[in-house]
Amino acid sequence: MKKAKTMKLSLPPEEYMNSGHLACQGCGATLAMRYALKALGQKTALCIPACCWSVIDGPFPYSSLEVPIFHCAFETAASSASGLKAGLEMVGDTETTVVAWAGDGGTFDIGIQALSGAAERNDNIIYVCYDNEAYMNTGIQRSSATPYGAWTTTTPVKHFKDRPKKDIVAIMAAHHIPYVATASVGYPEDLIKKVKKAKSFIGTKFLHIYAPCPTGWKSRPEDTVKLARLVVQTAIFPLYEIEHGEKYILNIKLREKKPINDYLRLQGRFRHLKEEEIAFMQKNVDINWAKLLKKCENV
């Protein structure tokens, strides 16, 4: 008698995100939400400010998610989550995980004061920034998460962004909160593990999730996961954790980094760059990677 073949799942089978959402084809932000909710479970409440996900969720009174959502003002994701958590605790609910779920514009720029305040108080929330590196919901405008060299509608080809991406992870680590981590939708097992780990800490937790945007990046929808893996393999966006602002843990060690051009050439937003500009970017990636390795060695 032949032994029945079984398949072992590497991701939780539960689904808390339904079909019928309003995302663009190949949207990395939808993958981020789907994986995060698998780790968070049913007893979760989301605070979502103005961002792609305030539209993706669906028109009122419908929702594509199986958890409650509080839609809040652009700058108030963290403060709304802090207030919601306090309110739940006042009525005796200590089990529900409250998550601020915001894009890079609502995190790096417009919402950073509320985020910093919540982190300084060490409010018991999880803050997730799904990063597509521009204000995609309002027309692909530059944010401080937009990387050097990128085209956006406010940094056109002749005047592409000439400043580096803000290091939001370092900013959050400087608050000495219990847990900070980077994740990518190209590595779902790692992402889910980190969301579960964030739940285990008391205090403010910050997750920076890399989420490609085919519309804003001028990339093919079918390349979303490929890009989300290449950005890690080129060390442009390393996967690591920081506990209490001091303990650095590198999650994926690269034996050999791929050249950043493997990543850049798949996106129209970098098509205008010259060889010397790409070489400048490669040099900075190498410098930042070396710095990160040194921090991880000291653990």
> For 238-292, what is each residue's pLDDT tens digit?
999 999 999 999 999 999 999 999 999 999 999 999 999 999 999 999 999 999 9
What's the mean per-residue pLDDT of the chain?
96
Name the nearest CA neighbour of 35 among 63, 62, 16, 50: 16
User: Given this model, what pLDDT does residue 298 score?
Assistant: 61
User: Given this model, what pLDDT does residue 297 score?
Assistant: 79
Q: What is the pLDDT of residues 94-125, one digit of tens each?
A: 999 999 999 999 999 999 999 999 999 999 99
pLDDT at 2 over 90: no
User: Given this model, what pLDDT does residue 254 score?
Assistant: 95
Cβ-based neighbours of 130, under 8 Å, separated by 6 or more = 28, 29, 32, 33, 53, 101, 102, 103, 104, 209, 211
pLDDT at 1 over 90: no
Q: What is the pLDDT of residues 30-71, one digit of tens each?
A: 999 999 999 999 999 999 999 999 999 998 889 999 999 999
pLDDT at 299 over 60: no
User: Given this model, what pLDDT does residue 79 score?
Assistant: 98
User: Given this model, what pLDDT does residue 288 score?
Assistant: 97
Domains of the chain: 28-297 (3.40.50.970)
Amino acid at 212: P
Sign of the torsion formed by the C-alpha atoms of 65, 70, 71 and 76? negative
Q: What is the pLDDT of residues 69-92, one digit of tens each?
A: 999 999 999 999 999 999 999 999
Burial label for 226, CB within 10 Å (0-12, 13-18, 19+), is middle
β-pairing verdict for 240-243 and 179-184: antiparallel
Q: What is the pLDDT of residues 279-293, one digit of tens each?
A: 999 999 999 999 999
pLDDT at 226 over 90: yes
Torsion of CA 147, 150, 154, 155, to 10 degrees: 110
Contact 49, 77 (CB under 8 A): yes
pLDDT at 9 over 90: no
